[in-house]
Chains A and B, each alone.
Chain A
Amino acid sequence: MDLMKSSLFASLAGRLQFLAARTNVVAENIANADTPGYVARDLGAPDFSGRVNAHALKVSNPRHIAASPGAAVLARPHLAPDGEATLNGNKVSVETQMMKLSETRMDYQLASSVYRKGIELIRLAARGGR
């Protein structure tokens, strides 16, 4: 059994990847908060529902393509203007972006602690419950 490819770790890694990419987009918005004509962007969450009931393709020959179940594909960032534009056409509200950033950070910390708990479970099993 390949532990690191199990659905728990793979899903959490996908989640962490998405949250890091979203942080990237939000950091871009904050950096461009005073750029004329810049419109804020956001990244939508990938669809993780495919992971829940999808099964991996059966591989009976090493030359078969081994598709992992529902690999999370990150969407491209879409425009998400914050409220009204200022006189120079900039549509970024620093407050909204900071809120999104701390929201993303909390989710990231949640996902990474669940990941750590998973590893601790494996360690516990490896030590034989001691």
Chain B
Amino acid sequence: MDDLNTALAISASGMKAQSGRIRIVAENLANANSTAGAPGLDPYRRQVPVFASYLDRDADANMVRMSRVELDPSAFSLKFDPSHPAANVEGYVQLPNVNPLIEMMDLREAQRSYEANLGALDQVRSMAAATLRILE
């Protein structure tokens, strides 16, 4: 049963990491149009979650966590809009480097991984139930 409890904790760490990733994707999507307030400033920069595996010495298992959140260094796109408060002297506004299509794919991938962890948790739960049925 000890191994099964550890397996539950591992699946929970996977679900926590994936839900953190979904939070980052939601932040990116919400800020897809967040331009800078004034010319010369940068608009919202896309965030990229980085996962890392770590050894939980207490449980002696490789858990997963979101180790850090990095900023996407790719270039901002430009839009011609001279009336915008953040437009430069040529009349161009810098837009965030968020591509909603990529974010949706990332969201879907995180959802699938979350479901895989949930499935693993469910299987472990049914194994624990089988062990307890020995007592019947």
Contact = CB atoms under 8 A, between A and B. Distances in A.
Interface of A: 16-17, 19-21, 23-24, 26-28, 30-36, 38, 94, 97-98, 101-102, 104-105, 108-109, 112-113, 115-116, 119
B118 to A, nearest CB: 10
Contact of A32 (B14, B109, B123, B134): B14
Contacts, number: 104
Interface residues on B, range: 35 or more
Contacts of B136: 116
A28 B62 contact: yes
Interface stretch (B36-44, B76-84, B89-97, B125-133): B125-133
Contacts of B18: 34
Contacts of A102: 123
Contacts of A30: 11, 14, 116-117, 120
Interface of B: 1-4, 6-8, 10-11, 13-14, 17-18, 21, 50-53, 61-64, 109-110, 112-113, 116-117, 119-120, 123-124, 126-127, 130-131, 133-134, 136
- Majority-rule SS of A interface residues: helix
A36 to B, nearest CB: 7
The 5 closest A-B pairs by CB, nearest first: A31-B14, A20-B3, A27-B7, A27-B10, A35-B51
Given A23-B7, A30-B11, A102-B123, 9 more contacts: A27-B11, A30-B117, A34-B18, A34-B51, A35-B53, A35-B64, A98-B116, A101-B120, A109-B126
